[in-house]
Amino acid sequence: MWQIFERLRDWWRPKPSPPPGPRRVKHYSAQTGFQYRYQLLHSTPGDYEFHVSTTTMPAFLLRITVPLNHLVARDRYALAKLHLFRNLDECEPANLPRHLEVTDTAALDEL
Residue 86 lies in a domain: yes
Q: CB under 8 Å to 75, separation ≥6 — which residues?
A: 105, 108
Per-residue pLDDT tens over the stretch 9-19: 666 676 676 66
Mean pLDDT calculated for residue range 60-85: 89
Dist CA 22 CA 51 (whole Å): 12
Asked if the structure places residue 62 within a domain, the reply is yes
Beta strand pairing call for 99-101 and 60-65:
parallel
Specify the pLDDT at position 36.
94
SS3 8: helix
- pLDDT value at residue 11: 64
Number of domains in the chain: 1
The pTM (predicted TM-score) of the whole model is 0.74
Q: Tell me if 27 is assigned to some domain.
A: yes
Classify residue 58: in a domain, yes or no.
yes
- Rounded CA-CA distance 53/110 in Å is 28
Digit-coded pLDDT (tens) for 23-70: 789 999 999 899 999 999 988 888 999 999 988 888 889 999 998 888
* Inside any domain, residue 33: yes
Among 108, 85, 98, residue whose Cα is nearest residue 59: 98
Question: What pLDDT was estimated at residue 46?
Answer: 86
- Domain range for 34 is 23-106
- Residue 66, domain member (yes or no): yes
- Is 10 inside a domain boundary? no
